[in-house]
Amino acid sequence: MSDKKALLRDIPKVDEVMKITSIDGLTALYPRELVVEAVRGALEGIRQSILNGGKEPGRLKPEELSARVAAALKRLTRPNLRRVINATGVVLHTNLGRAVLSPSAIEAVQMAASGYSNLELNLESGKRGSRYDPVEGLICRLTGAQAALVVNNNAAAVLLALSTLARGREVIVSRGQLVEIGGSFRIPEVMEQSGAVLREVGATNKTHPDDYKKAINESTALLLHVHTSNYKIVGFTRETSVGELAEMGREAGLPVMSDLGSGSLVNMDVLGLPPEPTVQQTIEAGADVVTFSGDKLLGGPQAGIIAGKKEILDRMKKSPMTRAVRIDKMTVAALEATLREYLDTGRMLQNIPSLRMITADEGLLKERALALKALLEDAAGGRAAIEAGKGSSAVGGGAMPTAGLPGWLVSVKPLDMTVEDLSVRLREGDPAVVGRVQDDRLLLDPRTILKDEDIILAGALASAISRRG
Ligand SMILES: *Cc1c(COP(=O)(O)O)cnc(C)c1O
């Protein structure tokens, strides 16, 4: 006990530490207050260690103390949001920021962020314009909708649509479509938030048109179809299609809404991929309103796109909620540029990174995997067994949940540390690298590793695998 007291008494004062030459020198690199904060933190660390019975002396050697302070300053000043090399193979990884933007979208964001723009000014008339003008026409042209609106994300789009169309009234939904998307988006809860009343019909696996018909009453406001984007009900099933709902809606004088979630503009099955309903098909099938994300299969910025009948969209545009969930100028810029890529059908699959990744062919992925393997072998310097072989990746973003995309993977089996240790070190590096751990190996998927990241990844592996302790 008294031993601890003596050690604690030995801890120097902050002022005293600030006079150490090497620590005073840090004030040339960092603001003084930050250095003081780091010194305080280092001294507090020593105090805690002594209190916990650690063997540390109260008074460290100046070199040791200044090394700790310098390390703390590095941690304090490095950005919290950092570049990550996505080696998971999940193309639309929500935790890693979903879609990577196209070069044209990046350029547009740069333009919008670095100067003023005509965000809400009509340059021809000199009058006030709408921030949705740059994208509404493009969305209509690409989807066949009469009108469109863009909000912060698809969750906001669903909330806005339900609140505008069905507040205080009933919305009929199939029990098989009460989905939960990651991050607490659940249809029943969003419904409650919007002030609409959920009227579930049918069974989990089967919902017939008659189930909807029987539920329609004078307080029904909307027939809702939710694309079960992140799961599939297979086997003995029956889903009532958007087309069938549209027919019932017309008979009953009710609008029909489809929450598509991933909302692709490209017909995936033409590309040999599992089918995803496109926005165009859904509009054509008769949906009055369609909502989908900007950063899922579309491959653009985070946004919620609402497309549909003009009369309905006009009502939404007037809602005060629209103002609360409006998009910023960088989103407008990135979304417009992304949508413009779709006008060039010959090049869109190459120009939009997520589409390029999803449609990457196996031969190319094999080539990339073999090249990456060679780089990593050099980088590991015999400290890991590295192999390349066939494997599969996922689309993510709640699209094509049952489809593994066939490709090639590189596996890294460290020889003198555990695979968990290696993956932690890679994650904490700069840039961070995130892969998949499976059977004592770290799997790295070239599908989602950007071309110029191969060499950076090799450098990251070299430093992670050689660092001791
Ligand atoms: C992803 C998804 C949402 C939520 O979209 P965010 O853009 O993440 O807000 C809503 N509905 C469905 C069906 C989805 O797949």
Q: What is the CATH number of the domain that holds 423?
A: 3.90.1150.180
Domain end among 316, 351, 386: 351
Which of 105, 70, 97 has the alpha carbon at shortest distance from 81? Answer: 97
Q: In angstroms, what is the C-alpha Rg of the chain?
A: 28
Same domain, 195 and 238: yes
Query: What integer pLDDT is reported at residue 3 of this predicted model?
Result: 82
Cβ contact 403:396 at 8 Å: no
Same domain, 123 and 32: no
pLDDT tens-digit series, residues 229-253: 777 888 889 999 999 999 999 999 9
- Using the atom order of ligand 1, give the atom closest to the CA of residue 293: 7
Q: What is the CATH number of the domain that holds 292?
A: 3.40.640.10
Same domain, 216 and 341: yes
Q: How far is the CA of 160 from the centre of ligand 1 (A)?
A: 13
Same domain, 371 and 408: yes
> Which of 95, 96, 151, 181, when mutated, tests ligand 1's pocket best, judged by the most ligand atoms within 8 Å of its CB?
181
In SS3 terms, 447-462 reads as: CCCCHHHHHHHHHHHH
- Is any ligand 1 atom within 6 A of the Cβ of residue 458? no
Mean pLDDT of the chain: 94
Residues of the chain above pLDDT 70, percent: 97
What are the φ and ψ backbone dihedral angles of 216, each rounded to 5 degrees?
-70, 130
Same domain, 132 and 212: yes
Same domain, 303 and 164: yes
Same domain, 73 and 133: no
For residue 193, name the pLDDT band (cuts at 50, 70, 90): very high
How many CB atoms are located within 10 Å of the residue 458 CB? Answer: 17
Same domain, 328 and 361: no
What are the φ and ψ backbone dihedral angles of 380, each rounded to 5 degrees?
-80, -20
For residue 469, name the pLDDT band (cuts at 50, 70, 90): very low
As a whole number of angstroms, the distance between CA 359 and CA 352 comes to 11
> Which region among 119-128, 142-151, 304-313, 388-397 has the lowest average model confidence (pLDDT)?
388-397
As a whole number of angstroms, the distance between CA 44 and CA 30 comes to 20
Peptide bond into 431 cis (omega under 30): yes
Query: What integer pLDDT is reported at residue 394 of this predicted model?
Result: 82
Cβ contact 136:148 at 8 Å: yes
For residue 296, name the pLDDT band (cuts at 50, 70, 90): very high
pLDDT tens-digit series, residues 434-456: 999 999 999 999 999 999 999 99
Q: How far is the CA of 259 from the centre of ligand 1 (A)?
A: 8
- Tokens 């751990």 correspond to 437
- Is any ligand 1 atom within 6 A of the Cβ of residue 173? no
Strand partners, 399: 396
Q: How far is the CA of 106 from the centre of ligand 1 (A)?
A: 23
pLDDT reading at 330 higher than 60: yes
For residue 4, name the pLDDT band (cuts at 50, 70, 90): confident
| Residue 250 lies in domain | 103-351
pLDDT reading at 176 higher than 60: yes
As a whole number of angstroms, the distance between CA 231 and CA 292 comes to 17
DSSP symbols for 344-393: -TTTHHHHSHHHHHHH--HHHHHHHHHHHHHHHHHHHTTSEEEEEEEEEE
Q: How far is the CA of 158 from the centre of ligand 1 (A)?
A: 9
pLDDT reading at 402 higher than 80: no
Closest residue by CA, ligand 1 atom 15: 261
Same domain, 60 and 123: no
Same domain, 223 and 371: no
Domain end among 351, 384, 416: 351
pLDDT tens-digit series, residues 55-75: 888 898 999 999 999 999 999
Domain end among 307, 325, 351: 351
Q: How far is the CA of 261 from the centre of ligand 1 (A)?
A: 4
pTM of the model: 0.92
Closest residue by CA, ligand 1 atom 6: 154
| Crossing angle for the helix pair 154-166 and 310-318, to the nearest 10 degrees | 100
* Sheet arrangement for strand 441-444: 384-393, 405-414, 441-444, 436-438
Number of domains in the chain: 3
Pair of tokens at residue 423: 């993956």
Average pLDDT score over residue span 19-23: 95
- Is any ligand 1 atom within 6 A of the Cβ of residue 152? no
Average pLDDT score over residue span 334-344: 98
As a whole number of angstroms, the distance between CA 193 and CA 184 comes to 13
Cβ contact 303:282 at 8 Å: no
* Strand ranges in 133-269 using DSSP code E only, listed in sequence order: 147-151, 170-174, 180-181, 185-186, 197-201, 220-226, 256-261
CA atoms within 13 Å, Cβ hemisphere of 153 = 10
Q: How far is the CA of 142 from the centre of ligand 1 (A)?
A: 20
pLDDT reading at 29 higher than 50: yes
- Using the atom order of ligand 1, give the atom closest to the CA of residue 398: 15
Query: What integer pLDDT is reported at residue 229 of this predicted model?
Result: 77
Q: Please, is 86 exposed, middle or buried when counting C-beta atoms within 10 Å of its C-beta (0-12, 13-18, 19+)? A: buried
How many CB atoms are located within 10 Å of the residue 134 CB? Answer: 21
Same domain, 88 and 58: no
Closest residue by CA, ligand 1 atom 12: 261
- Is any ligand 1 atom within 6 A of the Cβ of residue 259? yes
Same domain, 326 and 424: no
Query: What integer pLDDT is reported at residue 417 of this predicted model?
Result: 96
